[in-house]
């Protein structure tokens, strides 16, 4: 997931230690501002937790839910909670900056911060996608090998509902989103109250009560899930130099991990 960027410049002045410290503080602020504009993870997941260390152990639910009890039962069966191991991912970057010591004034700080913020937001969603696809309780094949239909989504919704959960999100690839749009199977977001327009540019509207979001990382897949049943953990963003007195790399780091509480709240559809 890590990318390396090389920044070039042509001027000939040098930074001193205090300049680098000030530069890092300013760059961090600009990255955080850019992240606020580009991130939409908070619309995909209800629970986002900031942790001091990368989180690798998540709760895992199992057993019957209230919706699954038979008519003869007074109370549902025991719902057990255990744990699952999740591999954290660093969504940051190492940026090659060896020429900065020769040309500090030639760096386009705002452009660099915007690029880093955008990639962090994209990589966070990639962690979510990987976490949900690996743990989906059920995988379905679309009935039509060439396109996704509303009926496919309903099949996934019904399966999740039969397990006692209430799916409210579908996250899919742009081509699948376009297929639903062309069939007029999506109620586009401008038909709803204005607060729904605040769910980001990746939010298209609703299909059968599900908020529909698209992301390039899915590639012919759709994930139907209950957002309240998913936990996302991430460490605070770190912006540092490898050597603040003579830097060669700008290190952007944030460790993220994700998993559903119960796998039966997630279904994966492949076209």
pLDDT tens digits for range 109-158: 788 889 999 999 999 999 999 999 999 999 999 999 889 999 999 999 99
Cβ pair 152, 183 in contact under 8 A:
no
38 lies in some domain: yes
Please tell me which residue, 172 or 66, carries the higher pLDDT value: 172
Residue 228 has what pLDDT?
96
What pTM does this model have?
A: 0.85
Assess whether pLDDT exceeds 80 at residue 63: no
- Mapping DSSP onto H, E and C, the string for the chain reads CCCEEECCCCCCCCCCHHHHHHHHHHHHHHHHHHHHHHCCHHHHCCEEEEECCCCCEEEEEECCCHHHCCCCCCCCCCCEEEEEECCCEECCEEEECCCCCCCHHHCCHHHHHHHHHHHHHHHHHHHHHHHHHHHCCEEEECCECCECCHHHHHHHHHHHHHCCCCCCEEEECHHHHHHHHHCCCCEEHHHCCHHHHHHCCCEEEEECCEEEEECHHHCCEEEEECHHHEEEEEECCEEEECCCCCCCEEEEECEEEEEECCHHHEEEEEC
Per-residue model confidence (pLDDT) at position 197:
66
Classify residue 76: in a domain, yes or no: no
Q: Within a domain: residue 230?
A: yes
214 domain-assigned: yes
Q: Note whether 185 and 150 are within 8 A (CB).
A: yes
pLDDT, averaged across the chain: 86
Looking up residue 54, the CATH number of its domain turns out to be: 3.90.1690
Domain-located, residue 75: no
Instruction: Decide if pLDDT at 67 tops 90.
Output: no
Residue 164 lies in a domain: yes
Q: Domain limits at 103?
A: 4-68+81-270
Quote the pLDDT of residue 12: 38
pLDDT one-digit tens code per residue, 241-264: 898 877 888 999 999 999 999 999
**Does 73 map to a domain?**
no
C-alpha closest to that of 124 among 39, 198, 57, 201: 39
pLDDT value of residue 155: 97
- Who has greater pLDDT, 64 or 142? 142
Lowest mean per-residue pLDDT among 48-62, 166-180, 218-232, 241-255: 241-255
Q: Cα separation of 222 and 155, whole Å?
A: 12
Report percent pLDDT > 70 for the chain. 84
Question: What was the pLDDT predicted at 102?
Answer: 62
> What is the β-pairing status of strands 80-85 and 57-62?
antiparallel
* Residue 195 maps to a domain: yes
* Tally of domains within the chain: 1
pLDDT band at 106 (very low <50, low <70, confident <90, very high): low
- Select the more confidently predicted residue: 66 or 38: 38
pLDDT in tens, 216-246: 999 999 999 999 999 999 999 999 989 887 7
Instruction: Give residue 5's pLDDT.
Output: 44
Segment among 15-19, 62-66, 87-91, 216-220 with least mean pLDDT: 15-19
Question: Bridge partners of 161?
Answer: none
């Amino acid at each position: 997931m890590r990318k390396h960027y090389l920044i070039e410049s042509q001027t000939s002045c040098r930074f001193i230690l205090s300049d680098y410290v000030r530069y890092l503080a300013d760059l961090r602020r600009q990255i955080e501002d850019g992240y606020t504009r580009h991130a939409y993870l908070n619309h995909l997941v209800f629970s986002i937790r900031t942790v001091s260390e990368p989180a690798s152990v998540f709760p895992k639910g199992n057993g019957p839910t209230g919706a699954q009890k038979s008519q003869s039962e007074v109370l549902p069966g025991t719902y057990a909670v255990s744990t699952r191991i999740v591999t954290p991912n660093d969504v940051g970057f190492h940026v090659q900056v060896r020429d900065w010591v020769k040309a500090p004034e030639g760096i386009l700080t705002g452009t660099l911060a915007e690029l880093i913020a955008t990639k962090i937001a994209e990589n966070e969603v990639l962690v979510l996608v990987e976490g949900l696809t690996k743990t989906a309780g059920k995988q379905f094949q679309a009935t039509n090998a060439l396109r996704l239909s509303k009926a496919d989504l309903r099949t996934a919704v019904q399966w999740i509902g039969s397990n006692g959960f209430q799916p409210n999100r579908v996250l899919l690839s742009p081509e699948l989103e376009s297929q639903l749009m062309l069939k007029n199977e999506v109620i586009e977001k401008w038909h709803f109250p204005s607060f729904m327009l605040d769910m980001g540019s990746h939010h298209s509207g609703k299909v059968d009560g599900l908020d529909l979001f698209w992301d390039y990382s899915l590639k012919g897949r759709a994930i139907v899930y209950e957002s309240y049943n998913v936990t996302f953990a991430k460490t605070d963003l770190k912006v540092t130099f490898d050597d603040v007195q003579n830097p060669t790399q700008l290190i952007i780091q944030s460790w993220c991990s994700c998993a559903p509480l119960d796998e039966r709240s997630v279904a994966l559809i492949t076209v």
